Amino acid sequence: MHAIVIDKPGGPEVLTWREVPEPRPGPGDVLIDVAASAVNRADVMQRQGLYGPPPGAPPYPGLECSGVVAEVGSDVEDFKPGDRVSALLAGGGYAERVAVPWQQVMRVPEGVDLVEAAALPEVACTVWSNVFMTARLRKGETLLVHGGASGIGTLAVQLAKAFGSHVVVTAGSAEKIARCVELGADEGINYREEDFAERVRADVILDIVGGRYLPGNVKALKTGGRLVVIGMQGGSKGELDLGALLVKRASVHGTTLRSRPVDEKGVIVRGVVENVWPLVEAGAIRPVIHARVPMSDAAQAHRILESGDHVGKILLVS
Ligand SMILES: NC(=O)c1ccc[n+]([C@@H]2O[C@H](COP(=O)([O-])OP(=O)(O)OC[C@H]3O[C@@H](n4cnc5c(N)ncnc54)[C@H](OP(=O)(O)O)[C@@H]3O)[C@@H](O)[C@H]2O)c1
């Protein structure tokens, strides 16, 4: 089969489409014929040599895919060859085939195109696990989503609206804010023109900026608020005002999805299938796709992501 190989860290040009050994499914694995994968910021960091695959994961980038089951291991009961699936991966999505533990495999929601289904696993699992499982966002509460036009942001806006929350986003342009409002956001803040911490008070904040936003995020939390940091685009260190945190009885969480054990990923995946897929099937949530690029040209997909002009996901079509 072919896969995108990274021989040495560097720019998009180091992503090369080459023949590699076929993966073999273990007893608990599902082997998927990949229809599409999608680009995540973590893939750029892997390409740059800053975020290696966890032990046991395929060396190729790609944290999600959709496709058709080619083969299942002897212990797998829930899937069979021919099933249309998507999957949360620890790596290896930029390939023609990938083997993945069955716990990380999901059926494709009814009505979703097989290729477009690749846009959902990583964002759905990240948003469900952080906003709903960790921060326990409730109906009527306010959610602040930093980077509302990102892949993660576009799903967070739709899911939180579907659960009856008031949603505020930050983004870097009026155009991006307009797209977030189309997806259901109630308010948008252009962070280049306005300080979000002066404008909004939120019960839950989903943050991709990290260190640089920590003081502002704590300031923007309401009493009992929950801040979940999932990205460090603004650095890993910042000053935490514990006094403010104590007075507000607020909490700060940090999580990653990729490094979690298979069983934990399985709990998240089941939560997504039970709670998010019905909303996708009802049309309340849709994958937001910015571009489709042939998988062999993953370099071009990375250039689009790094330009920062995109809204939603960039697909890699096999
Ligand atoms: N911890 C986890 O498990 C986990 C899982 C998935 C993703 N993530 C993280 O989540 C983040 C989003 O991932 P993605 O794949 O959706 O990336 P993406 O689509 O590339 O989005 C990143 C976005 O961040 C926005 N941004 C940059 N600086 C900002 C700021 N100061 N305020 C508000 N927005 C800002 C940019 O849009 P503007 O033009 O608006 O600036 C850009 O579109 C990444 O940092 C990724 O590493 C973490």
74 burial type by CB count under 10 A (0-12 exposed, 13-18 middle, 19+ buried): exposed
* Tens of pLDDT, residues 193-249: 999 999 999 999 999 999 999 999 999 999 999 999 999 999 999 999 999 999 999
Domain boundaries, the chain: 2-120+286-317, 124-254
Nearest to 62 by CA among 48, 42, 86, 33: 42
Q: How far is the CA of 147 from the centre of ligand 1 (A)?
A: 6
Average pLDDT, the chain: 97
* Residue 114 · residue 282 · CB < 8 Å: no
**286 within ligand 1 shell (Cβ under 6 A):** no
**172 within ligand 1 shell (Cβ under 6 A):** yes
* Residue 51 · residue 44 · CB < 8 Å: no
* Tens of pLDDT, residues 131-161: 999 999 999 999 999 999 999 999 999 999 9
Residue 203, pLDDT score: 98
Tokens 């390939």 belong to which residue?
Answer: 95
**205 within ligand 1 shell (Cβ under 6 A):** no
Q: How far is the CA of 153 from the centre of ligand 1 (A)?
A: 8
249 burial type by CB count under 10 A (0-12 exposed, 13-18 middle, 19+ buried): exposed
Q: Is CATH 3.90.180.10 the right assignment for the domain spanning 2-120+286-317?
A: yes
Residue 298, pLDDT score: 98
> b/e for 31-48, b at 16 or more Cβ within 10 A?
bbbbbbbbbbbbbbebbe
Domain 124-254: CATH class, spelled out: alpha beta
Q: Could you check whether 2-120+286-317 and 124-254 share the same CATH topology?
A: no
pTM above 0.95, yes or no: yes
Q: Which helix (H) or strand (E) holds 25?
A: none
* Tens of pLDDT, residues 166-182: 999 999 999 999 999 99
Atom of ligand 1 nearest to the CA of 312: 19
Site to substitute for ligand 1 among 37, 39, 41, most atoms within 8 A of C-beta: 41
Hey, CA dihedral for 64, 67, 71, 72, is it positive or negative? positive
